[in-house]
Structure formats: C-alpha cells, structure tokens
Structure 1
Amino acid sequence: MRQESLLTLKNSYETARMYFIMLHLGNFYSQFSRHTDLSLGVKTLPILADIENPENGYHLDNGLISNLLRDIYINYQKIDTFSHLILVNSIRGVTMSIVEALKEKEIKDLFVKTFFYENQDKFSDFHKIVKFIRNILSHNIRDRMEIKKEDITYKGIAIFQYSYADFPVSLPILYQIDIKVDFDKLQDGDTYSDVISDYQTLLFIEFVHNCLSFLKNQLQISSPF
C-alpha cells in the first residue's frame, strides 16, 4: 500500500479511536453522574490553555456545572444534554473518519476484500448507510435529529446485515447488525432514530471501529492508541 494511503488509514483509525474512547468513557461518566450526586464535589478547576503560564487558564463555571450535575442526578431517568452530545459526536466522528478513508481507492479495495469478501453490492449498501449517518448527524444541531432531503444522496433501498461471526477475527460479543434504509420514502422532518435505532447505530460504528483496528494491526501501523 502506498505511503499516502497508509497515512490516511492511520489518521482515520486514530480519529475513530478517539471518538470511540469518548463514547465509552463519556457514557461511563454520564451513567455515574446519574447515580452519584457529583454536584457536591465541584471545585474550581481551570483548563490550562497555556502550560507555561497557568494563571492564563480558562476557568470553568462552578455554578453551571453544579446545577447541571444536580439536575442529572435528580432526573436520572431523563436523557441529559451531556449524554446526547457524547452519543451524537461519537457517531459523527467515527462515521466521518471512515467516509474520508474510503475516498482512497486502495483503502476501499482492501475494505471490500477483507470485510465483505469481494461482495461489492454489500459494500455499496454499507457505504451508502455510513454516508447517510454522517450527513444527518453533521447537519443537525438540536437534540431532535431531523432528516433533510438535501442530505440524502441516494435512491432506492440500502440493506446492511452483518454478523460478527463473519468478522476476520474472533470478537467477544457476536452482535448482529441489521439496518435498512429506504431513501425514496424519507421525508423532510423525519426523525433519524425512526429510520435507524440508536442501538443499531452503535453496533454500526463499533463495526467501523473494529474494521479500522483490524487493518491497523494487519498492516502494522504504529499508533499511540
């Protein structure tokens, strides 16, 4: 593989990995804050934007943090803004990383061969779905993820079904991904989660992360992650 393609793959993996870590660590803290009242322990903690001059640190708003943590703890059954932002940004980041990587023909061909066993139709549906998810999540700024017709670049139906039993290496949990998107039936204002559930979306981005991790290891790409 050309050095340019290896660098693209490395960057894609590291980007997906960072967002995957954010998904898991962020959701852990989110769940923890639902069951433990963290508002009582809020202290002044500056963000050290300038290590050489710590007095220039950007100071966090203690009152804002304390009130938000208290509200999360009291209303633990509701989806809070923190959890929503973690979910949306993690999904967007992982899908963005693979969309950029697949623009390289060498990476695309390797993806088709390694994970789709030369099944171009199955890969095509995967590619349509990953771009659809990326587009929708990139162009929404509110908590209700609405579909806009200009974000839909395909016609017809895309179906992506994948069993982790078919993955090139053994994985601890044999998830089943089952996503179907009928692009012709989508309308402005449709809710994203009514088209693809959060659960299936999470399985999908984990699949993307696992694919990039596998290729990183196979090609012996060095990475701090």
Structure 2
Amino acid sequence: MCRSDVKQAVLAKNDDLAADLRGDLARQGVTMVNLLSSPGSGKTELLGRVLARAVERHVPVAALTADLATENDAVRLARSGAPVQQLLTDGLCHLEARQVRARLAGWLPPETAVLFVENVGNLVCPASYDLGETLRIVLMAVTEGEDKPLKYPTAFGSAHLVVVTKTDLAEAAGFDEDTFRANVHRVNPGVEIVQSCARTGAGVGALLDHALAARDTAPPHRPPLAPHPHGHQPTAPAPLA
C-alpha cells in the first residue's frame, strides 16, 4: 500500500469513529462543538466566557480542552464553574475521534447538553479530522491578517461558523473587515461571521446561542476538504460508558 493510500485509510477510519461518536452523543442529547484556531487567537478566554454564561443561564455544558503539554487551559476554563477535562496529546498536533471518545468515557456528565471541544492551536492538522462534532467553529483574531482564510482554506471552508476575536484591537491592528469577509466567503460562501471580544463580552451570547440552536436544527455535517499531511495510526475506540 502506498503512502497516500495509508493516509486515506487513517482518515477513513477516523471518519467512521467520528460518525459513531456523533450518533452516540446524539442519542444522549449531547451536541459537540469543535473549536479550531491558531495559537494566540484568544479562544480559551472566549470559551471561558461562554461557559460562564451557560452556567449563569443554567445550561448544562462541559468542555474538553486539548494541548500538547500543561493543564493550564483546563484550570482557566474550570473557573467558569462548568465541568472541564484536559486532554494532553503528547506532541500530536491535532485531536482525533478516538482520543475524544476515550477521554469522554466515564467522565461526561449525563445531563450535558453541549460539549465544547477546544482543539489544539493549529489551523492545518485539526481541519482534516472529524471529531464527531455537530458544529465546527473556526476563530481568528483581528491581529492575524485578513488573508488567513485564503491561507487555510480547509479550516475556514469546513466551518459552520466563523468567529472574529479580539475586535477591541481591530483599529490598532488595521484590520480590514470587508476584505476578511470577502476572503472567508471565497472559501465558504454564505457562512455566518460573528464578531467577539472576550474582554467586553461581545459575541459571547451569540456563540452560546449558536451551540444551543445546533441541538434543535443541526447544520449539515461537513467532512474535511483535504487529507491531512501526516499519517497517524488510529487505535481502537474506548466505549463511552
């Protein structure tokens, strides 16, 4: 089997596991939201605000946060009062469905309505792996440049929602919103774009509302648009419960 065939087989196996997990979560009434962004986009701080808002509204949510090392993000997110777990990837640049399933087994609170998964900070590798999510959100800070969607079309093209973060810095960064929107819609026509600022709370309610709406009217699942450049051999999934 040639190398490209191996890569496709790995992705196909992951897709099968993701589909099974999506079905299992749906039967439990849980909607998974996959958050993708580059490092430093501010997604941890924004997610913490979303979780806190959900707790205030008595919405049962939980979060799984992934990183190569340290449990710093889990500690930060847990301040919201929501159940949080850290998933350490031991150097792997993305999450896979098998890892998510294994980490959820025996932990996910039974009353959970929305599970937020904060993927590894990377817009290349995570974009090609379906985790079993119902809603995929891609975030980008105003400091990252308006051409980001063109540089990372797989990530932005597979998003159900695009979120602009750190909008309080837009003027200082010289962020051109019109150009950014045009670039997003070049790779993902019609996708909704939400502006947010963790510092002021702007967009926090909108993100939570989108997650809750996905429970009732799930957006069509979008498979990855391009194969992942690295080959990783998946392992057998663990049971959810």
TM-score for the superposition, normalised by structure 2? 0.29
Structure whose alpha-carbon radius of gyration is higher: 1
Q: Answer 1 or 2: higher relative contact order, Cα 8 Å, separation at least 6.
A: 2
Q: Which has the higher helix share?
A: 1
